[in-house]
Amino acid sequence: MKKPELLAPAGNLEKLKIAIDFGADAVYMGGSKLNLRAFAGNFTNEEIEEGVKYCHDRGRKIYLVMNVFPRNFDFTGIEEYIKGIEKLGIDAIIVGDPGIIAIAREVAPNLDVHISTQANIVNWRSAKFWYDQGVKRIILAREMTFNEIRGFREHLPSECEIEAFVHGSMCMAYSGRCLISNYLIGRDANKGTCANVCRYKYYLVEETRPNEFFPVLEDDKGTYIMNSKDLCMIKHIPELVQSGIDSFKIEGRMKSEFYVASVVKAYREAIDSYFENPEGYSFKQEWMDILLKVSHRPYHSGFYFGKMGEQNYEESSYIRDYEIVGIVKEYDEETKIATIVQKNRVFEGDKVDVLRAHTPNFNVQLTNMYDVEKNKETDVANRAHMIFKVKVDSPLKENDMLIKAKNTIEIGSN
């Protein structure tokens, strides 16, 4: 069996490095043009160059997303942009439009092309068509079942790679081909600015009673008729591997550093565990526990087992039981003092979990808190990106993430 690639989102340079450090084999990111996450911290060419070096120095790969549905004016300057991207060392571009593919094949023939999930490939003949056009990898529509994926693998050349989403947000439309957001508030999902208006709570209005709003009730909490649950396939690593998928993709370029680190860590450990002993493999609840701590909607298995996409009929908001409170920048083993960058409010005396790559989570207590900028002791780190020091008995490492349950009573708070 070929070990699949674990592909992680990189919303900015910091998240790219976190994804790689926590075990991703490759990352995907957006540049300054033509990607469907307009509000992500998209990369400048200088940041792309740094990201490429960080990945390649560690034997990993980096892909650039160019998956919008372009209009005529979007093609201005695209030839030079693609040639520049190739020179920076990008391993492949992710494209959903044949016009961009044609230009890429012309001006950068040695640059690998992956066909985006936006192309909505739902049958192997379409996949074979794109492969014959020089596309190296097919990123399947999210709506595929395991039986269908096995059909792709049986009919496609072994050199044609298959990528599929295994974790993250789902869409009520066919993988983003939707106009609801654009129609209602002028933010086009097909241009990277989706406002997720499908997840809003709606009411019914009768034509002759314009001021009477009737809720569409499922139960006493209401209903959210287009609010998909989040995909989570951590319990089904054997089925994913055996289906012939070459790359396991994690959704989430808009998600936090905490999300990227946690999801990559869980899937890395699960994949490695399976390949260490396929016959004796067993799922570990600790992997799901990691995923339950990050912000998420209720999880489900998507379309893989032939079910229609499940909807969340209870609420549209995320479950946010844990939050990241800091990232370790330095630890002095002699004094046991850690220097930390604040991410969310944390108090002196709080107990926090430490999230570290390739290491089980463990718990520490923060004592003797000191505000570096104000040069004085403090009982709370409550300013964005505040640098503070604390005493921690257990040795910490640079880039360790400190996370805390949101329902934990904060020491020092009222």
Is the residue at 15 inside a domain? yes
pLDDT at position 223, please?
55
Contact 88, 52 (CB under 8 A): yes
Is the residue at 122 inside a domain? yes
CATH assignment of the domain containing 346: 2.40.30.10
- Burial class of residue 113 in the structure, from the number of CB atoms within 10 Å of its CB (0-12 exposed, 13-18 middle, 19+ buried): buried
Shared domain check, 109 and 243: yes
In a 3-state reduction of DSSP, which class is residue 356? strand
Structure tokens at 364: 């520490």
Rounded Cα gap, residues 332 and 69, in angstroms: 51
Contact 89, 52 (CB under 8 A): yes
Rounded Cα gap, residues 387 and 216, in angstroms: 48
Range of the domain at 372: 322-405
pLDDT at position 224, please?
58
Is the residue at 326 inside a domain? yes
Distance (Å) of CA 340 to CA 16, 327, 336: 20, 6, 13
Residues of the chain with pLDDT under 50: 222, 408-414
pLDDT at position 329, please?
97
Shared domain check, 364 and 254: no
Structure tokens at 12: 């900015």
Shared domain check, 331 and 292: no
Residue among 127, 120, 124, 119 at smallest CA distance from 98: 119
Contact 156, 211 (CB under 8 A): no
Shared domain check, 275 and 162: yes
Residue type, 161: E
Whole-model pTM: value is: 0.87
CB atoms inside a 10 Å sphere around CB 398: 12
Residue identified by tokens 């912000």 is 295
**How big is the chain, counted in residues?**
414
Is the residue at 154 inside a domain? yes
Shared domain check, 133 and 90: yes
Counted domains in the chain: 2
pLDDT at position 322, please?
93
Q: At a CB cut-off of 8 Å and minimum separation 6, what does 254 contact? A: 11, 37, 39, 40
pLDDT at position 312, please?
60
Contact 374, 294 (CB under 8 A): no
Rounded Cα gap, residues 414 and 407, in angstroms: 14
CATH assignment of the domain containing 55: 3.20.20.70
CA neighbours closer than 13 Å in the CB half-sphere of residue 326: 32
